[in-house]
Amino acid sequence: MTRKGINAERQLVNLLWKHNFAAIRVPASGAGSKVFPKPDIIAGNGINYFAFEVKTSTLDKIYLEHNEIQDLISFSEKFGCTPFIAIRFLHNSREWRFFDISTLQKTLSGNYKIDFNADFTNGLDFDSLLGK
- 49 in Cβ contact with 12 (< 8 Å): no
Helix (H) or strand (E) holding 22: strand 22-25
Name, in order, each residue with C-beta under 8 angstroms of 117's C-beta and a sequence gap of 6 or more.
60
Looking at the Cβ atoms of 73 and 90, the one nearer to a copy of itself is 73
Looking at the Cβ atoms of 23 and 114, the one nearer to a copy of itself is 23
Chain residues binding a copy of itself by CB under 8 A are: 10, 13, 17, 20-24, 26-27, 30, 32, 36-38, 42-47, 49, 75-81
Give the shortest CB-121-to-a copy of itself separation in angstroms. Answer: 31
> Rounded CA gap, 7 and 20, in Å?
20
Looking at the Cβ atoms of 26 and 118, the one nearer to a copy of itself is 26
